[in-house]
A and B are shown apart, each in its own frame.
Chain A
Amino acid sequence: MSLHTEPVVVNIGPHHPSTHGVFRMRVTFDGENVQDVEPVIGYLHRGTEKLAEERQYSQVITLTDRLDYVASMTNNQAYVLSCEKLIDIEVPDRGKYLRTIAAELQRVASHLVGVGFFLAELGGFGGTALMYCFRERERILDMFEMLCGARITVSFMRIGGVFQDAPEEFWPALRKFLDEMPGYADELNKLIFESEIVQARTKNVSVISADQAIDASLTGPILRASGVPWDIRAAQPYDAYDQVKFDVITAQGGDNFDRFWVRMLEVEQSLKIIEQCYRDIRSGPVRSTTSLLFRPSPGEAYVPIEAPKGELGFYLVSDGSIAPYRCKIRSPSFISLTLFKEMLVGWKLADIIVSLGSLDFNMGEVDR
């Protein structure tokens, strides 16, 4: 006699602590095995693209802070780079270096959050590793407060540079951070990545092959973990990235472990970039124009950047007025969710949340 069973549909989210905001999954289970996953998004939709169309170019910077709220610096950078191409103005050297330093600090902060929440979602590390990551992130946020008076919603960059030069107390704080951060990264490696439990839970789970990743146009650490050495900082340098040397980190596995190993190694490379910028930065103006009001000639511009989560770009269309005619946001988090079903089908219930954490997406950017 066989027991009659049938698949069960379970809703996970939108209000679930592990879903990085308000992400909802409709998962079909056969016992413990995942048969089908359907992501449901839109709970955090705020209409940023539409709001941008009725604001002046300089006012939209404040909206970009709220897209990916754990990496607002790089959102600012992507937007102002597109605006500068549209308006056709140059940024002074010091402005470029300050932007690069700020963006790399933000990458370290964002990767720390990614790693911390990944470990929280593995279970058991939520109180320890997450808090260690947040302790280091706190120092970066403190430096952002010195730079621009806010920790999360920074609005630091302006069209034509950054809003103001860094204060004097910023440079000693940055020096101290650069000296101490490698030690903390080692500590985190010792804590987590040598642990057999973490390796057993994450290695060879939810593998994304290189072909799959390219077909789905995944970018950022997820693509590089699958073995594709594509980094926009190296391939199409913007700001001061053509002045610095760094390695493009890749891993071959494409599994949950490699996606996080790539992020940890990228923190080291970011520190290397900041170190070079700290050494090379010269005094000078930080902003080429102090105007807040622009009237670009009709045209369009798109400048992609390597945000912590992947390729981020603002496609701006101008009709000659003071506000963008169209502002399309190419957000990496939204595209990271493309392969969600392929990643999870065939794996267990407990792997869903871990794979979700390994994508390190942010709902503010998915729904926009």
Chain B
Amino acid sequence: MYGSGMLKAFGVTLQNFLRKPSTVQYPEERLQQHPRFRGQEFTWYEERCTGCASCAKYCPLGIIKIVTDPSGGDYQDGGSYRIDQFDIDQARCMYCGICVEACPYDALHMGTRFEAATYSREDLVITIDDLRARPKHPSAWFRPQLAKEGFDPFTEIADWREVGRETYFWHPKRPEMVPEDLAQKASSDGDYDKSQDND
């Protein structure tokens, strides 16, 4: 019968009319993001960062600017440089997360926020002071250690000791963080072997 297809179609729309809506009223109601969400608020741990600038080198757009001062740290000893400037130009960032993947010391993480509208372009540039000041909500993107422990990045704040692939930070400048047996091994071996670093 001509027109039966149309009637079936009206039946489908009627069914959907009675179904629970699949949309939410956004500013009042929010959907929960997943732990790997690549958000806008970069999380950076100064304690873990050595100033190697791997993130800046691997960024496809070259929007990370790092200025380090070798005289600030005892770099002869395998220590880290003093980081004077760490700018991320979020206006041009595409949140691919390759900087996070490239970081050998798990110092830089993606964030969890997605509402970062500002009134001027200058405000979109994150400086080192912003990175130091903001609460640390690291996303689990490329950080499986954060996903495994049932860590909820959207509400919990992570300490710099928790976010690494190792539970301690193997670094001669911070001997208090090294377990005793490893410290003894290091002192008996003599010099700190850089090739053993966690890259």
Contacts from A to B (Cβ < 8 Å): 55-56, 58-63, 65, 128, 132, 135, 138, 142, 145-150, 153, 155, 163-165, 167, 169, 187, 190-192, 194-197, 199, 292
Contacts and interface: CB of A to CB of B under 8 A. Distances in A.
A59 B98 contact: yes
Interface in B1-53: 2-6, 8-9, 11-13, 15-16, 22, 33-38
Contacts of B38: 148-150
B96 interface: yes
B12 A164 contact: no
A46 to B, nearest CB: 13
8 contacts: A56-B58, A60-B60, A145-B37, A150-B38, A167-B35, A190-B11, A195-B9, A292-B58
B101 interface: yes
A62 B13 contact: no
B60 A194 contact: no
Nearest to B3: A196
Given A149-B36, A155-B96, 4 more contacts: A58-B98, A61-B96, A135-B22, A191-B9
Given A128-B13, A196-B2, A145 B96 contact: no
A160 B198 CA distance: 22
Contacts of B102: 292
A58 B101 CA distance: 11
Contacts of A199: 5
Nearest to A187: B12
A251 to B, nearest CB: 19
B36 A167 contact: yes
Contacts of A187: 12, 15
Nearest to A128: B13
Interface residues of B, number: 34
Given A62-B96, A155-B97, A292-B102, A145 B8 contact: no
By CB atoms of chain B within 10 A, which of A60, A61, A149 has the most? A149
Interface stretch (B71-79, B136-144, B170-178): B136-144
B16 A132 contact: yes
A191 B13 contact: yes
A194 B5 contact: yes
Contacts of B97: 149, 155
Nearest to A193: B5
B147 interface: yes
Contacts of A194: 4-5, 8-9
Contacts of A138: 22
B125 to A, nearest CB: 20
Given A138-B22, A196-B2, A147 B36 contact: yes
A153 B8 contact: no
Given A145-B34, A149-B141, A191-B12, A59 B60 contact: yes
A117 B95 CA distance: 28
Nearest to A144: B34
Contact of B101 (A142, A150, A163, A197): A163
B94 interface: yes
Q: Nearest 7 CB-CB pairs, A to B? A: A194-B5, A59-B60, A149-B38, A149-B36, A62-B96, A191-B12, A149-B141
B60 A62 contact: yes
B64 interface: no
A163 B143 CA distance: 11
B110 interface: yes
A153 B97 CA distance: 11
Contacts of A135: 22
A196 B22 CA distance: 29
Nearest to B110: A149
A164 B6 contact: no
Contacts of A167: 34-36, 147
Contacts of A59: 58, 60, 98
A148 B101 contact: no
A119 to B, nearest CB: 11
A324 to B, nearest CB: 13
Contacts of B142: 163-164
Contacts of B36: 145-149, 167
Nearest to B39: A149
B34 A146 contact: yes
Given A149-B141, A167-B147, A196 B34 contact: no
Nearest to B31: A142
Contacts of A56: 58
A55 B22 contact: no
Nearest to A135: B22
Interface string B125-165: 00000000000000101101001000000000000000000
Nearest to A167: B147
B58 A196 contact: no
Nearest to B147: A167
